[in-house]
Amino acid sequence: MDPETMSIREMCDAFDVTPRTLRFYESKELLFPIREGQKRLFTRRDRARLKLILRGKRFGFSLEEIRQLLELYYVGDQQETQLKRTLEVARERLDDLERRRAELDDAIDEMKSQMGMVDDMLASLSGGQKSA
């Protein structure tokens, strides 16, 4: 009823995951739904987190790595040294991501050239005329 929160089923439909998955993520401290009696109520914060979790998974991060990343997003009021450490970790992660992107670019290029070769093979099979 509260437009701010969602039931477990609403979450599942919205994000295409199973209840088991949401409970599992809670047990691993990736989500923190509040309770109304027995029932879980997922907040806006949980939805934002889940979105990041699913994205992280698509890049091959483990749930534990994702959990650590999520901490960066909800820093809170910590001490300065803690914040500096957090910032360091964040920069490392960012470098991680940018290295991945560079590799991904390479992979895409290689794949495109591979496909060019396949195109050529097809052309030589159907057409017969070679480009050289």
List residues near its own copies by CB under 8 A.
Answer: 55, 57-61, 72-73, 75, 80, 83-84, 86-87, 90-91, 93-94, 97-98, 100-101, 103-105, 107-108, 111-112, 114-115, 118-119, 121-122, 125-126
* Least Cβ distance, residue 37 to its own copies (angstroms): 35
Q: Report the DSSP beta bridge partners of residue 41.
A: 34
* Least Cβ distance, residue 106 to DNA (angstroms): 21
Residue placing its CB nearer to DNA in the complex, 63 or 69: 63
Residue placing its CB nearer to its own copies in the complex, 34 or 111: 111
Q: Is the dihedral of CA 26, 29, 33, 39 positive or negative?
A: positive
- Distance between CA atoms of residues 70 and 48, nearest Å: 10
Burial (CB count within 10 angstroms: exposed 0-12, middle 13-18, buried 19+), residue 52: middle
* Least Cβ distance, residue 100 to its own copies (angstroms): 6
Residue placing its CB nearer to its own copies in the complex, 34 or 102: 102
- Distance between CA atoms of residues 11 and 69, nearest Å: 22
Residue placing its CB nearer to DNA in the complex, 37 or 127: 37
Query: How many angstroms separate the Cα of 29 from the Cα of each of 67, 71, 88, 91?
Result: 7, 11, 23, 23
- Which of the choices DNA, its own copies, none does residue 9 contact, using the CB cut-off of 5 to 8 A by kind? DNA
- Which of the choices its own copies, DNA, none does residue 74 contact, using the CB cut-off of 5 to 8 A by kind? none
- Distance between CA atoms of residues 67 and 74, nearest Å: 11
